[in-house]
Amino acid sequence: MATQKFITIYEQLKQRIHEGEYTYGQQLPSEHELLTLYGASRETVRKALDLLANDGMIQKIRGKGSVVIDQGITEFPFSELISFKEVQEELGLKHETEVLINELVKASSVLHVKKQLNISNDDVLIHVVRTRNVNQKVKILDEDYFLTSIVSNISDSVAKDSIYHYLETQLGLDISYSSKSITFEPFTEREYNVFGKIQPPYTATVRSVVYLKNTMPFQYNVSKHLATEFKFQEFSRRHKL
């Protein structure tokens, strides 16, 4: 029962930090206040705080208590083929997706995508651009291209929720793996418009070609993350949840 209690306290405090209730540099309630708040023993509270410290979310400072050092980094598994929605739900963050563009384009107008997907000039692609917001701040700019021969339509509501959930549950696609590359690139005008004035003005840009189980490439993705808020962990395979 005690184990369940300290894990509950740990998870609730972690969520409050992620949601910005406790921000960088701010002190958590004292051990005595946490004892009262959760009706727990001192040992149970200390175990919960130790877990937060091990996660790099707080620093215990003599005379000051537990100070938040988490800076809201969006942890995105580089080696896993996982959707933004799945990541945020796993981390317990409040997230929102805004659809900026949802259109059809010919491969001849995006030659770099044509090359990556090994398609012809006349092939048609769905082009979707979305921002990924956490706690009302844009963290990621996602640009996707899907072959219409595989995915005929993506509604705005699907793009706003989870495209992968739609592809797998509604279209029955077996998304298997991806190849990825990462570069650090200076802001262009588009990044300034999306992210605002950020220092340093660089994105960690992940480019991915995503394949079905039959090894057919059907999606090209460019995901731009704030360089200061990007953390990656290293063939990516789609895990069924």
C-alpha dihedral over 31, 37, 39, 44, to 10 degrees? -40
Q: What is the mean pLDDT of the chain?
A: 85
Q: What pLDDT band is residue 93 in, cutting at 50, 70 and 90?
A: low
Q: Which CATH code is given to the segment(s) 84-226?
A: 3.40.1410.10
Smallest Cα–Cα separation from 141: which of 109, 104, 189, 200?
Answer: 189
As a whole number of angstroms, the distance between CA 114 and CA 107 comes to: 5
> Do 75 and 204 form a contact (C-beta atoms < 8 A)?
no
CA distance 174 to 40: 47
Give the start-to-end residue ranges of the domains of the chain. Answer: 1-68, 84-226
Residues 12-69 have pLDDT tens digits of: 999 888 888 888 778 999 999 999 999 999 999 999 999 888 877 887 877 778 888 7
Q: Which range (50-54, 79-83, 138-142, 237-241) has the least confidence?
A: 79-83
* The CATH classification of domain 1-68, taken from the options 1.10.3720.10, 1.10.8.50, 3.40.50.1220, 1.10.10.10: 1.10.10.10
Read off the pLDDT of residues 119-176 as tens digits, 9 standing for 90 and up: 999 999 999 999 988 778 898 999 999 999 999 999 999 999 999 999 999 999 998 8
Q: How confident is the model at residue 240 (pLDDT cuts 50, 70, 90)?
A: low
Cα torsion 190, 204, 86, 210: sign: positive
The residues, ordered by sequence, that sit 6+ positions from 183 with a Cβ below 8 Å of its Cβ are: 204, 205, 207
Total-model pTM: 0.64
Is-same-fold flag (1-68; 84-226)?
no
If phi over 0 gives left and psi between -120 and 50 gives alpha, with beta otherwise, what is residue 65?
Answer: left
Q: Which residues contact 83 (CB under 8 A, 6 or more apart)?
A: 162, 163, 164, 165
- The confidence score (pLDDT) of residue 149 equals 97
What pLDDT is recorded for position 3? 53
Label each residue of 177-222 as H, E or C.
Answer: EEEEEEEEEECCHHHHHHHCCCCCCEEEEEEEEEEECCCCEEEEEE
Token output for 122: 């006349």
- Asked if residue 144 lies in contact with residue 114, where contact means CB atoms within 8 angstroms, the answer is no
Please tell me the predicted confidence (pLDDT) of residue 71: 55
What distance in Å separates the CA atoms of residue 143 and residue 122, rounded to the nearest whole number?
Answer: 21
- State the Cα–Cα distance between residues 49 and 62, nearest whole angstrom: 14
